[in-house]
A = this chain, B = another copy of it.
Amino acid sequence: MDHRTFKTEINEQLARIAKAVANPHRLEIIDLLAQGERSVDALAQETAMSVANASQHLQALREARLITARKEGLRVYYRLADYTVYRLVQTLREIAQQQLAEVDRIVNTYLTQRASMEPVTLNELLTRLREPGLVILDVRPALEYSQGHIAGARSIPIDELESRLHELPQAQEIVAYCRGEYCVFADEAVEILTEHGYHVRRLQLGYPDWKLADLPTETE
């Protein structure tokens, strides 16, 4: 029994997964794929990378079996190999938040309104899902909403919010959410809605966290 070799080989497999996510672009790609399947050029655009570079990063994730692909015509669509792959991002996020002062500094620098907003926890929203006076507002792009969203949520993509305010009843409380803890769409929605006199709060996490917690979702 060669323990040393066993240990080494096992830890090499664990490191293989860690290496695959040890790059900021690849983390962002996983985050986007957790919203729903995406083509290479869509991912490239969203992450401000060249198609060739995005493709290389996707091959790295694929080598580690974290994503899978299907081809349709000219396009290749990627998705998470298993939804639990998103747990890698979650755990990294939680540990980084806990251990790195830089995370707070970055959040406080860019999201200056967050300190004054009490977010809604997943659990709180779960208990209020059937509340008649509550609007759950998904401000991600409509495609993402249709691929999966919190049960009962309605969709107004952030870039349409200003022009579609009239669709939202001012008497109701709104919980806005988007892609995850570091997605800014919901922060922007809270700002806009607050300026227009709405009672609105941001959901603390995002759709992938909700889904991964096996809470009620819908697709369109």
Expressed in whole angstroms, the Cα–Cα distance for A183 and B15 within the complex equals: 17
Tell me whether A99 and B17 are in contact (CB under 8 A): yes
Q: A15-B23, A110-B2 are in contact. Are A84 and B88 (CB under 8 A)?
A: no
Expressed in whole angstroms, the Cα–Cα distance for A88 and B89 within the complex equals: 10
Tell me whether B91 and A5 are in contact (CB under 8 A): no
Q: Contacting chain B: which of A6-14, A122-130, A192-200? A: A6-14
From B11, B17, B66, B106, give the contact of A13 (CB < 8 A). B106
**Overall SS of chain A's interface:** helix
Tell me whether A88 and B91 are in contact (CB under 8 A): yes
Tell me whether B110 and A17 are in contact (CB under 8 A): no
A132 interface residue (CB < 8 Å to B): no
Interface residues, chain A, with chain B CB atoms under 8 Å away: 1-19, 21-25, 27-28, 48, 64-66, 81-82, 84-85, 87-89, 91-96, 98-100, 102-103, 106-107, 110-111, 182, 184, 188
Sorted from nearest, which 4 A-B pairs have the closest CB atoms? Answer: A11-B24, A18-B22, A6-B110, A65-B99
